[in-house]
Amino acid sequence: MSKTIERPAVTELSIQRECESGSLPDDEDIRRFAAVALADLDDPVLNLRIVDEAEGRELNRRWRGRDNATNVLSFPAELPDGAGINLLGDIVLCAPLIEREAAGQGKSLHAHFAHLLIHGILHLRGFDHISAEQAEAMESREIRLLADLGIGNPYVTYDH
């Protein structure tokens, strides 16, 4: 018998859909995905923008110097101490790229979207994957959080 884990709702999650797709998770699912990565924080606030490839490419070029769209970008907030708000920052997800990746990797779109949203939130929380040690810590946390959602390990590959 599995135990249901109660997670508090995200205090404030602004969802901007600049790219429409009937296949993407709805706002309720997105809030549920985010909540598992934010459960141990007090009053977290973040923004999510779902974009097309043109906007994803422009943002990646402007902020990372890479002339291509990427699946997820994270922009941590830089607030002074005592600002009175737990603003984590902004996450940008490129819907068409995420859809293609999910199909190409044989994953459900919901599972891949949840993984990338959690990945982006962990970046906002200070996690990174520059070194092997950092990558191990971040991936382990992603795997645990996705398991809380009933989603399998996104790093397991299957031979077809």
Give residue-wise pLDDT tens across range 115-130.
999 999 999 999 998 8
Closest CA to 72 of 122, 26, 132: 122
Compute, in degrees rounded to 10, the torsion defined by CA atoms 49, 110, 128, 20. Answer: -20
Q: Classify residue 138: in a domain, yes or no.
A: yes
**What radius of gyration, in Å, describes the C-alpha atoms of the chain?**
16
Q: Do the Cβ atoms of 46 and 94 come closer than 8 Å?
A: no
Q: Classify residue 91: in a domain, yes or no.
A: yes
What is the spatial distance between Cα 115 and Cα 119, in angstroms, rounded to a whole number?
A: 6
Q: In this predicted structure, what is the pLDDT of residue 2?
A: 43
Q: In this predicted structure, what is the pLDDT of residue 81?
A: 80
What is the spatial distance between Cα 112 and Cα 117, in angstroms, rounded to a whole number?
A: 9
CATH (domain of 113) = 3.40.390.30
Look at the block and give the residue holding tokens 């992603």.
Answer: 142
Total tally of structural domains belonging to the chain: 1
Give residue-wise pLDDT tens across range 75-128.
999 888 878 888 999 999 999 999 999 999 999 999 999 999 999 999 999 999
Q: Classify residue 1: in a domain, yes or no.
A: no
DSSP conformational letter for 125: T
What is the span of the domain harbouring residue 26?
A: 12-148
